[in-house]
Amino acid sequence: MKKIMLFVLLMIDLSSSVVMVTGEVYKVGDSTGWAASSNSSYADWASSKTFRVHDVILFEYNATNDNVILVTHSDFRACNTTAPLKMYNSGNDSFTIKSGGHYYFTSNFSGHCQGGQKLDVRVLKSPPPHATPSPSPAPSPSTSTSHAAAAPVESNALAPSPTESKATTHDPKWLLMSTVGVTISGLAVLVLDYA
C-alpha cells in the first residue's frame, strides 16, 4: 500500500509541475510566403496580427535565392544588411518570440530590403495570465513635483534581446488533461490494489 501511495503522490507531483507553453504560429506573408518579388506588403501583414511572447514567426522561402536576417532598428531603417544579429537560410525557418518589443527582419540578398522585403514584428508586453499589476508606489515628499509627460524613446538597437521571459502561458486544455490522467492513473492503481 505504501508503494501505491508513493506512486500516486509522484504522479500528482509530476503532473502539477508540467507546464505546456503554447503560442500561435504565423507564416510570414501567408500564402505568398517570404519573397522579394512578392507584391504583398509585410508591414500590412504584420499590422493585421497581434504577436505575443511564445508565438512563432515562420519564414518559408526559396533558399537558393533568399534568406532571413534579424537586424537592429537602425539597420532595418537603413537597409544595412552587413551586420545581422542572426541569419536563417534553410528556406523553412521559425523564430520563437521570447520577449516583448520589436523584432526587425529582412533579407541580405542584394536589393531585397530596398525592394520592400522587410518585416517589423511588434510583440505585446503582456503580463502573465491571471496576474494583477502591482500598484505604483506613492511619490515621497522629497520627489520632484515636475508634471512633464515622458515621451517614448526609440532605441537604435533591437528592443529586448530574445531571452527567456518570466511570463508563462498555461494551456488550460493541457492542464485539464494532465489532471484527468493523474486521476485515472490513481483510480486504476487503487482498483488494482483491491482486486
pLDDT digits (tens, 9 = 90+) for 54-90: 999 999 999 999 999 999 999 999 999 999 999 999 9
Q: Tell me the CATH number at 88.
A: 2.60.40.420
In SS3 terms, 71-111 reads as ECHHHHHHCCCCCCCEEECCCEEEEECCCCEEEEEECCCCC
Report the predicted TM-score, pTM, of the whole model to 2 decimal places: 0.57
Report pLDDT for 23.
85
Number of domains in the chain: 1
Residue 86 lies in a domain: yes
Residue 188 lies in a domain: no
- Give phi and psi for 123, each to the nearest 5: -110, 130
pLDDT digits (tens, 9 = 90+) for 16-38: 544 455 789 999 999 889 998 76
d(CA 192, CA 50): 50
Show the cell assigned to 192: 488494482
Residue 173 lies in a domain: no
Residue 17 lies in a domain: no
Residue 41 lies in a domain: yes
Residue 113 lies in a domain: yes
Residue 31 lies in a domain: yes
CA–CA distances in Å: residue 136 to residues 126, 139, 150, 165? 18, 9, 16, 22
Show the cell assigned to 34: 517570404
Domain of residue 26: give its range.
22-127+156-164
Higher-scoring residue by pLDDT: 140, 51:
51
Residue 80 lies in a domain: yes
Higher-scoring residue by pLDDT: 143, 3:
3
Label the pairing between strands 25-27 and 56-60: parallel
pLDDT digits (tens, 9 = 90+) for 146-194: 333 333 333 344 444 333 333 333 444 444 555 556 566 666 656 566 6
